[in-house]
Amino acid sequence: MRVGVLGARGKVGAEVCRAVEAAEDLELVAQVDTGDDSDDLGALTERGVQAVVDFTHPDVVMDNLRHCVEHGIHAVVGTTGFDDARLDTLRGWLDASPATGVLVAPNFSVGAILMMRFAAEAAPYFESVEVVELHHPDKADAPSGTATRTARLIAAARAEAGSGPVPDATSTSLDGARGADVDGIRVHGLRVRGLVAHQEVILGGPGETLTIRHDSLDRVSFTPGVLLGLRQVAAHPGLTVGLESYLGLS
Ligand SMILES: NC(=O)C1=CN([C@@H]2O[C@H](COP(=O)(O)OP(=O)(O)OC[C@H]3O[C@@H](n4cnc5c(N)ncnc54)[C@H](OP(=O)(O)O)[C@@H]3O)[C@@H](O)[C@H]2O)C=CC1
Ligand SMILES: O=C(O)C1=N[C@H](C(=O)O)C[C@H](O)C1
């Protein structure tokens, strides 16, 4: 498969380029970044790219994807910032290009995917649950895509189980002190130099807490999932959200 990487000089994109170059069944034929002469999506079709990997920025990813879908190029997307409206827009573009596959995954690390799954599984058994995400301070978005997805999965699992709202008697607080409310679940974001990507889900009931923690200590944690995405995306036309189904987890 002929692969193009968008955001090729970025922190994750550079790691993805190394992984694709090392894979015998994949050929890296285009590297696109704002810092390069080749900052041009036209390079993708000129070089016969069959699938792109996008690790760019939430502000530009939709334009990239519109171009790819219009040209029948499959896409494996790590860039964050996808809400329901964006996903609906993507589905609309894909309806007009039914053979094209797009995978949007808030996190490509296997450990993070399992952390989200375990958190959702545990959530109905506890009164309280809150999400704390911790990242490097150069990150563009907050809360992280992973934290938002985790909170949504937790909220859905609790709704299905008939759990009530999480308890919180706070009546006075400074703005932000209780984090962001994602579907009724509080999400807190820390930005600290030295960190890469980390998350804790803290669950609590009478007399006990359970903490589920995942740490990406190096950005190589994302590349096996990205390679899996590249190898499977053509066999999954339309939009897939989350790497879980490619891993046989859903
Ligand atoms: N799903 C997952 O598993 C993961 C997702 N992410 C997400 O991936 C995204 C990128 O993260 P990260 O690598 O840390 O960020 P970086 O800022 O290090 O890299 C992004 C790169 O994309 C470039 N870029 C910006 N606009 C364009 C464009 N239109 N075309 C091509 N390249 C462009 C940037 O250039 P310039 O700096 O000049 O703007 C930069 O080199 C974020 O949304 C992050 O949250 C990160 C880790 C894992
Ligand atoms: O920007 C990052 O670094 C990361 N972004 C993704 C997110 O927002 O969840 C994945 C991981 O947390 C690293």
How far does the centroid of ligand 2 lie from the alpha carbon of residue 26, in Å?
25
Residue 250: what pLDDT? 74
Taking residues 107-132, what's their average pLDDT?
Answer: 98
d(CA 58, CA 234): 24
**Is pLDDT above 60 for 243?**
yes
Task: Look at residue 120 and tell me whether its pLDDT is greater than 70.
Answer: yes
Q: What is the pLDDT of residues 169-215, one digit of tens each?
A: 999 999 999 999 999 999 999 999 999 999 999 999 999 999 999 99
Paired sense of beta strands 74-77 and 101-104, if any: parallel
Please state at what angle helix 223-232 crosses helix 11-22, rounded to 10 degrees.
Answer: 60
In this structure, how many other beta carbons lie within 10 angstroms of the beta carbon of residue 155?
20
Sign of CA dihedral 33, 34, 36, 42: positive
DSSP letter for 167, please. P
Give the single-character DSSP code of 89. H
Which pLDDT tens digit goes with each residue over 81-102? Answer: 999 999 999 999 999 999 999 9
pLDDT of residue 232: 97
pLDDT in tens, 40-83: 899 999 999 999 999 999 999 999 999 999 999 999 999 999 99
Please give the pLDDT value at position 35.
73
Does 167 sit behind a cis peptide bond, omega within 30 degrees of 0 on the bond before it?
A: no
- Residue 139 annotated as catalytic: yes
pLDDT tens digits along 123-136: 999 999 999 999 99
Q: Residues lining ligand 2, CB < 6 A?
A: 80, 106-107, 135, 139, 144-146, 197
Cα–ligand 2 centroid distance for 23 (angstroms): 24
Residue 138 pLDDT? 97
Beta strand segments in the chain, E:
2-6, 27-32, 51-54, 74-77, 101-104, 128-135, 180-182, 185-191, 197-205, 208-216, 238-241
Q: What number does the ligand 1 atom closest to the CA of 56 have?
A: 22
Mutation probe of ligand 2 site: the residue of 11, 76, 80 with most atoms within 8 A of C-beta: 80
Average pLDDT, the chain: 96
Q: Which two tokens stand for residue 124?
A: 């109905």
The structural domains of the chain, ordered by start, are 2-104+220-247 (3.40.50.720), 110-217 (3.30.360.10)
Cα separation, 238 vs 234, in Å, equals 9
Measured between alpha carbons, how far is 51 from 91 in angstroms, rounded to an integer?
18
CA–CA distance, 175 with 149 (Å, rounded to integer): 23
Predicted confidence at residue 249, as pLDDT, reads 87
Here the ipTM equals: 0.99
Strand order in the sheet with 101-104: 27-32, 2-6, 51-54, 74-77, 101-104, 238-241
Q: Which of 57, 67, 71, 139 is flagged as catalytic?
A: 139
Q: Is the pLDDT confidence value at 38 over 80? A: no
Residue 11 contacts residue 219 (beta carbons within 8 Å): yes
How far is the centre of ligand 2, averaged over its atoms, from the C-alpha of 179 (Å)?
A: 18
Nearest ligand to the C-alpha of residue 216? 2
Q: How much is the pLDDT for 37?
A: 62
Q: Which two tokens stand for residue 165?
A: 């709202």
Q: How far is CA 208 from CA 70, 169, 180, 205, 211, in A?
A: 52, 19, 24, 6, 10
pLDDT at 208: 98
- The pTM is what? 0.96
